[in-house]
Amino acid sequence: MVSSTSSTPPRLASPAPPSLETLVSQLVASKRSLSSVEQVWRGHEIIETTRFHLETSVTTTARSSFLRSGIAAQLHTLKHVHRHSKLVEVEGAQEYGEVMRTLDEADQRLKDTMDGLRSTMVEIRLRPGSDKPKSLMDFVDEGSVDKVLTNIRESANAAQFAYQELLEANRSFSDDIRQIEEILRSLKGQPSEPPTPQTHEQPSDEAMPVSPIPDILQDMEGRSRDMAENLESLVRHFDLCLMAIKQTEGGGDAALQLTAGLPDGARLEEDVANAPEPIGDQERQEMLEVLATDADQVEEVVMEIRDHINAMEAQLAAVTAYVAQLDHEYAKVTSAFRLLEKVGNELHAFVAQGQLFVTRWDEEKAKINERMDELSSLEEFYVGYLGAYDHLLVEIGRRQFMEQQMEKVVQESMRKLDTLYEEDSARRESFRHDYGDFLPMDIWPGLTDAPLQFETRPMDGVERVPDISKSVIQRAIRRVQGSRRQSMT
């Protein structure tokens, strides 16, 4: 808007001056435009609010950055402690698994051996007078095995309980660390920034790139200056309209009526109450021409102010959202810090839990190894017992063979004795026939005695070897031989 009465080159013909009604309508329109002063004041409020948000955002960002750096440093230490505890957990699980596998193998070997004892029935001929079949397992006490296994299970359960406590502590510690890390990852990037200020050539509803608050504030201040300048031009235009009416016949009363109720803050240069200074026709004509030109621009200037305030409102909303996001992220950082404090307070107990597990596991592992030695001794005894029974059967077979050999010797001796007896009897009879009539009877009472006879029988109190079948003994021999071959490999 020009809004001035500067001289212009003379013209050949001047247009007809506007009527009072036209000037009044222009003054009414100009008066309405002065309501833009409220938008100008609103612009000042927005700038002050934005300055406040800038100060608070700087403080909030500094606090968040300080907490985040501190949390990151402490988190590094906590993760190191957690890795060590996790290593204890993994090593403990491996050792426990290895011990349990060794224990299961030893237990299975013992069970197999005991099953072999149960399935091996003692030959009934070894126990004359007993009518109830018995296995080799019936001659040993299983209570010792049950006692050892019970002790092992107790130690294994105690170790498993300690491991579960460590596992739960590690899981809880890991969850806390992961929760802190998730919070930090969610804050890894800078918060979403408000839109960049709109240039004067761009419409207010066009999407703009993001920008930090200082750039927003700088753009707001530029818009505020533009709005103030536009308001001043509207005030000058109103002054010019007022002057034109007052210079028109009958316009004084209209000027007084129309200037009533002006918006606060609209400072007029033209005094409504005083009579106007007279001006020449040429100057009045130039004033009317400027007024006509400016009247066409009033609405455009008002719209420009409105566009500025709308853009600033949108920028303020974006800044407010940006600051709210900063506050939200600061609250998240604070929650992460509180969680870090909780973890720090529990750190001593957590470390002690790992040490307790190592101590208890070492104790229970020593007990388990001791019981496993007892289990191995029992297995060795039962294996030896089972093998000894096979050797017993083999020994019985050997004794049977020796008895048979003895019986053969006895039978052969008896045949020879019988032969000698018959031979001796015959020769005695021949002697009596040849010389018996000549010898008195009392010369030797044993002259007519029969030959000496022998009797061969087992000694009293010595039992014969049980009559075990050859098939049983042969199977025992094969088992003994197989056991010897296994021991040699």
Q: How far apart are CA 114 and CA 379, in angstroms?
A: 8
Q: Is the pLDDT of residue 201 over 70?
A: no
Instruction: Compare 459 and 469 and report the one with higher pLDDT.
Output: 469
pLDDT bucket at 323, cuts 50 / 70 / 90: very high
CA dihedral sign, ordered 394, 395, 400, 406 = positive
Q: Are 223 and 304 in contact, with CB atoms under 8 Å apart?
A: no
**Which segment of 244-253, 283-292, 419-428, 434-443 scores lowest on mean pLDDT?**
244-253
CA angle in degrees (0–180, nearest 5) for 72-330-73: 10
| Per-residue confidence band for 242, with pLDDT thresholds at 50, 70 and 90 | low
Spatial CB neighbours of 102, under 8 Å, sequence gap ≥ 6: 372
Task: Using the predicted structure, report yes or no on whether residue 430 has a pLDDT greater than 80.
Answer: yes
Confidence band for 184, pLDDT divided at 50, 70 and 90: confident
CA distance 184 to 174: 15
End-to-end CA distance of the chain: 116
Give pTM, 2 decimals. Answer: 0.56
Residue among 158, 167, 165 at smallest CA distance from 368: 158
Query: Which range among 9-18, 384-393, 398-407 shows the weakest confidence by mean pLDDT?
Result: 9-18
Q: Is 471 exposed, middle or buried (0-12, 13-18, 19+ CB in 10 A)?
A: exposed
Residue that is written with structure tokens 């530029």 in the block:
222
Tens of pLDDT, residues 108-155: 998 999 999 999 898 888 877 776 888 899 888 888 888 988 999 899
Whole-number pLDDT of residue 25 = 59
Residue 344: count of CB within 10 angstroms of its CB = 12
Distance CA 415, CA 421 (A): 10
* Mean pLDDT, range 431-458, rounded to an integer: 86
